[in-house]
Amino acid sequence: MSSAFLDEHLDNALSDVATNRCSGVLHRDTSSPAFGSQLDDHGDAPGPLARAGDCSTRCPATLDGTRHRPTHTADDADSRCSGRHGGHPVARLLGGLDDRISVQFHVMKTIGSSPGKTLARVPAGTFVRVEKLPGSRAAASSAVSRAHKHGDLIAIRKGLYFKGVKTRYGLTRPSAEAIAVEVLGRIGVGPAGHSAARALGLTTQVPATPTLTVAGPVPTSVPGVKVSKRNNMHRRDLSYTEIALLELLRGDWESIVEGGWAALVSAAAKAIREGKVRPTALAEAVAAERSPAARASFARLTKDLRDRRRLANRTDLSA
CA dist., res. 181 & res. 179, Å (int) = 5
CA dist., res. 189 & res. 229, Å (int) = 10
CA dist., res. 10 & res. 248, Å (int) = 18
According to DSSP, the residues that pair with 63 across neighbouring strands are: 105
Domain ranges within the chain, ordered by starting residue: 3-51+177-318, 62-176
Q: What's the gap between Cα 243 and its chain centre?
A: 7
3-state secondary structure 178-236: HHHHHHHCCCCEEECHHHHHHHCCCCCCCCCCCEEEEECCCCCCCCCCEEEEECCHHHH
Across the beta sheet with 189-191, the strand order is 189-191, 211-215, 226-230
* pLDDT tens for each residue of the chain, 319 residues long: 444 555 555 556 555 554 454 443 333 333 333 333 334 444 444 443 333 333 333 333 333 333 333 444 433 443 344 333 333 333 333 333 443 444 444 445 444 578 888 998 889 999 999 999 998 999 999 999 999 999 899 999 999 999 999 898 888 999 899 999 999 988 999 999 999 999 999 999 988 899 999 998 887 778 889 999 999 999 999 999 999 999 999 998 999 999 999 999 999 999 999 999 999 999 999 999 999 999 999 999 999 999 988 887 777 666 6
Q: What are the φ/ψ torsions at residue 315 (nearest 5 degrees)?
A: -65, -40
Q: What are the φ/ψ torsions at residue 95 (nearest 5 degrees)?
A: -50, 125
pTM: 0.64
Residue-level pLDDT at 15:
56
Closest CA to 133 of 97, 107, 99, 153: 107
CA dist., res. 35 & res. 44, Å (int) = 8
CA dist., res. 172 & res. 194, Å (int) = 24
Integer CA distances (angstroms), 243 to 89, 144, 193, 229, in order: 24, 35, 11, 13
DSSP codes of every residue in the chain: --HHHHHHHHHHHHHHHHH-TTHHHHT--TTSTT--S---TTS----PBP-------S---EEE-S-------SSSGGGGSTTTSTT-SS---STT-TTTS--EEE----TT--HHHHHHHSPTTEEEEGGGSSS-HHHHHHHHHHHHHTTS-EEEETTEEEEPPEETTEE----HHHHHHHHH-STTEEE-HHHHHHHTT------SS-EEEEESS-----TT-EEEEE--GGGGGS-HHHHHHHHIIIIIHHHH-TTHHHHHHHHHHHHHHTTS--HHHHHHHHHT-S-HHHHHHHHHHHHHHHHHHHHHHHHHHH-
Query: Please, are residues 289 and 232 in contact by the beta-carbon 8 Å criterion?
Result: yes
